[in-house]
Amino acid sequence: MSVKFCTIASGSSGNCVFIDGGAKILIDAGLSGAAIAAGLSAINEDPLQLSAIFITHEHGDHISGAGIMSRRYGVPLFMTPGTWQILKKQKTIGNIRQEKLNLISPGAIASFNDMQVLPFAVSHDAAEPVGYTISTSGRKIAIATDLGHTDDQIAEHFHGADIILLESNHDLDMLKFGNYPAHLKRRILSDIGHLSNPAAGIFLRDIYSPKTKHIFLAHLSEENNRPILAHETVQNILLSAKIPIGTDCGLYLAPRKHISPVIELE
């Protein structure tokens, strides 16, 4: 069975990842329902065929279309109990039918046919944020888009993944000398903030295995990063470790407002 992967959008204006491998799922739904449906249509996918939407955390750029997608297309939602408590209190995704709501804690696997989706804890300024690994047909995909730092547990989830989607949020100098207020800079640079380009590169260097063939850099800051800076910084770190970027492993940028390259693994 083949596995299909792409990002529909990635960044502070909205995040959404599509995966097809035994089941069709989204990781996050941070765009309008219409924009998500249009993105799916552009890759010849029907939102009515979605098996689930998995939410990483409660921030608007990850959940803004989740409620409408669930109500309009009958898609089940999966999220951590902490995320749901915040969303329920804030009423940010509207009414969700009880049978469409699934609470899943880090370490608990959700299965769909041959696909297994495993949430793992990450460090971010949210109630109970997670990344996900998706395993299907002998393939593994690892995703973490908002995290202030990495650790051995997160590395274990990423190691051996065929496809990796990892945050490469900011260039350190652009952030430090940019126009953001001091408190926001401190938040982004903290252990519950966002990964810098060098931090992403070092983590990818340390967890790389020959099984990894596709790496996507995600959630680039519009104010504190540039696509070329993110790509060059990470690429240089990986190449200096003799990781075969550009030959045996592709390094891509997940676009802010349009669909990424579509990866299909046989």
Lowest mean pLDDT, pick from 91-95, 181-185, 227-231: 91-95
**Predicted pLDDT at 81:** 98
Q: Report the chain's mean pLDDT, rounded to a whole number.
A: 96
Q: Examine the pLDDT at 7 and tell me if it is beyond 90.
A: yes
Q: Examine the pLDDT at 102 and tell me if it is beyond 80.
A: yes
Q: Examine the pLDDT at 1 and tell me if it is beyond 80.
A: no
Beta partners for residue 118, in sequence order? 133
Strand order in the sheet with 52-54: 101-103, 77-79, 52-54, 24-27, 16-20, 3-9, 263-265
**Predicted pLDDT at 22:** 87
**How does residue 154 score in pLDDT terms, banded at 50, 70 and 90?**
very high
**Predicted pLDDT at 194:** 96
Q: Examine the pLDDT at 229 and tell me if it is beyond 80.
A: yes
**Predicted pLDDT at 166:** 98
Query: At a CB cut-off of 8 Å and minimum separation 6, what does 240 contact?
Result: none
Distance CA 146, CA 60 (A): 13
Tell me which of 3.40.50.1000, 3.30.70.380, 3.40.1360.10, 3.60.15.10 is the CATH number of domain 3-260: 3.60.15.10
Report percent pLDDT > 70 for the chain: 100
Query: At a CB cut-off of 8 Å and minimum separation 6, what does 110 contact?
Result: 52, 54, 78, 102, 104, 116, 117, 118
- The strand pair at 24-27 and 52-54 is best described as parallel
User: Position of tokens 């370490």?
Assistant: 107
pTM of the shown model: 0.97
- Mean pLDDT over 18-31 rounds to 97
**Predicted pLDDT at 11:** 95
Give the 3-state secondary structure of residue 13. coil
**252 and 218 Cβ atoms separated by less than 8 Å:** no
- Mean pLDDT over 47-61 rounds to 97
Task: Report the candidate in 229, 120, 118 with the shortest Cα–Cα distance to residue 170.
Answer: 229
- Mean pLDDT over 160-174 rounds to 97
**Predicted pLDDT at 91:** 86
Amino acid symbol at 150: T
**214 and 163 Cβ atoms separated by less than 8 Å:** yes
**How does residue 266 score in pLDDT terms, banded at 50, 70 and 90?**
confident
Q: Examine the pLDDT at 53 and tell me if it is beyond 90.
A: yes
The DSSP secondary-structure symbol of 98 reads G
